[in-house]
Amino acid sequence: MKFLVDSQLPSALARFLTSIGSESVHVLDLGLAQSGDAELWSFAVENKFVLISKDHDFLHFLERTAPNGQLIWVRVRNCRRQTLLEIVERVWPETLALVKAGERLIEIR
């Protein structure tokens, strides 16, 4: 299972997730930071990434595509990077379990 972190979220999130055993990459690392939403969603689905994003536009792609795309929708207000990482760390075991169970949309609040 691989995770792709979208550009509205810090690259530190991808590094953090990798450090706790969840293979993750940020869009900057793949040269996809300037990609449109449709291109990014297609890349994630085709390459079997679970997309992690704050962008609610991806909900539309999730509804319209085959049942193999997954989205972790981060609904945390703007905050310091460390606060975001602490929130993700707290909910990650449950989030990961939902991803493994095949849930297509997982919200982090």
Q: Tens of pLDDT along 36-75?
A: 999 999 999 999 999 999 999 999 998 887 678 999 999 9
Return d(Cα 69, Cα 25) in angstroms, integer.
17
Return d(Cα 104, Cα 41) in angstroms, integer.
13
pLDDT at 91: 98
Name the domain count of the chain.
1
pTM here? 0.96
Q: Is 4 exposed, middle or buried (0-12, 13-18, 19+ CB in 10 A)?
A: buried
> pLDDT, tens digit, for every residue of 50-60?
999 999 999 99
Q: Collapsing DSSP states into helix, strand and coil, what is residue 76?
A: coil
pLDDT at 66: 67
Quick check: 109 pLDDT over 80?
yes
Domain that holds residue 16: 2-108
